[in-house]
């Protein structure tokens, strides 16, 4: 005899649950679904007893909102999850959601959620997507305290570049913060400048900062006389040397021709331009040697 075929549960999607996130036990208790129907393709299982309509794309943002509103009401979305709610790419869809609850709050461990107990001041909490979330400034300091230094600087720069925080305000908040990770937060805030156009530009800036090179000027505007020529990622004006990070966006349609026109204007103004790619960042010694040689010319 052949193997028995698995029983396929028909997808049943009541109108009251379409496009929603809900507790499975509540839906079953209300008679909207049976326990078997919860296992159908009509629903995504986000956490234990927390489901989402399959019409919704499972992102970290969706999981963070579900965790704070359905799984653990009264919690605050913090850390990398808060950064995601502020539209900064700090966590992937499958990464743990970070929540903070007041000390003494009882909650059982749930796979996919990391819960911290701490007091947050009212001024450190805002609302986003209908749930409490730390303000961009508090989020920046939290990332500085918890993340590896360079990664934290990248994320703070992204928050600043998006116009969500002022780097000076983040530094002031980090300086006033005490407790675990406060020194790391201050170090990250000190290194952030909010000028980078991409995470890789921040990583390049940190590499240049640690090298034995004259410090470059970030986001320098080049002029030929009084005529604006271009804004470059990094510059050594005395040597008329520009350093540009060449990311994937430069391959977009029409961008190549625009980049070449811009390069020609810089060359005509007497500037030299070095381009850096992601591969160069994996060979930092060679990259620094190449820049040093150009500066010595």
Among residues 98, 44, 47, the alpha carbon closest in space to that of 71 is found at: 47
The pTM score is: 0.86
Spell 255-292 as b/e; 16+ CB within 10 A means b. eeeeeeebbebbeeeebebbebeeebeeeeeebbeebe
Give pLDDT, residue 4: 56
Q: In this structure, are residues 38 and 53 in contact, taking their beta carbons and an 8 Å threshold?
A: no
> pLDDT at position 247, please?
66
Q: Which residues of the chain have pLDDT under 50?
A: 1, 7-8, 249-250
Beta bridge mates, 126: 133
Question: Quick one: pLDDT at residue 101?
Answer: 95
> What are 132-160's pLDDT values in tens digits?
999 999 999 999 999 999 999 999 999 99
Any long-range contacts for 171-179 (C-beta under 8 Å, 24+ apart)? 173/137, 173/138, 173/140, 173/141, 174/141, 174/144, 177/141, 177/145
pLDDT given at position 250: 47
Closest by CA to 139, choosing from 190, 82, 61, is 82
Task: List pLDDT tens digits, range 109-130.
Answer: 899 999 999 999 999 999 999 9
Q: Taking each helix axis as running N to C, give the angle between helix 182-191 and helix 149-161, from 0 to 180 degrees, rounded to the nearest 10.
A: 50
Domains of the chain: 15-53 (no CATH), 73-191 (no CATH), 199-296 (3.40.960.10)
């Amino acid at each position: 005899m052949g193997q028995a075929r698995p029983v396929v549960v028909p997808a049943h999607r009541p109108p009251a649950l379409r496009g929603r996130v809900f507790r499975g036990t509540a839906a079953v208790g209300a008679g909207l679904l049976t326990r078997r129907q919860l296992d159908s393709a009509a629903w995504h299982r986000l956490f234990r007893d927390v489901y989402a309509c399959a019409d919704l794309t499972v992102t970290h943002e969706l999981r963070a909102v579900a965790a704070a509103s359905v799984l653990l009401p009264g919690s605050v979305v913090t850390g990398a999850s808060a950064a995601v709610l502020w539209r900064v790419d700090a966590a992937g869809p499958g990464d743990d959601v970070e929540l903070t609850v007041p000390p003494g709050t009882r909650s059982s461990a749930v796979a996919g959620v990391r819960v911290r107990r701490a007091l947050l001041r009212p001024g450190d909490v805002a609302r986003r997507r209908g749930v409490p979330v730390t303000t961009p400034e508090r989020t920046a300091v939290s990332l500085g305290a918890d993340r590896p230094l360079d990664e934290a600087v990248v994320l703070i720069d992204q928050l600043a570049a998006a116009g969500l925080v002022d780097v000076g305000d983040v530094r002031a908040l980090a300086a006033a913060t005490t407790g675990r990770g406060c020194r790391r937060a201050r170090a990250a805030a000190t290194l952030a400048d909010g000028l980078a156009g991409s995470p890789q530009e921040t990583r390049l800036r940190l590499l240049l900062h640690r090298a034995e090179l004259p410090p470059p000027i970030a986001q320098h505007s080049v002029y030929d006389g009084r005529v604006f020529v271009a804004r470059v990622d990094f510059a050594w004006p005395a040597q008329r040397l520009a350093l540009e990070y060449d990311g994937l966006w430069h391959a977009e349609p029409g961008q190549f021709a625009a980049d070449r026109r811009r390069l020609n204007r810089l060359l005509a103004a007497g500037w030299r331009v070095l381009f850096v790619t992601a591969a160069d960042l994996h060979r930092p010694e060679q990259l620094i040697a190449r820049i040093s040689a150009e500066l010595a010319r």
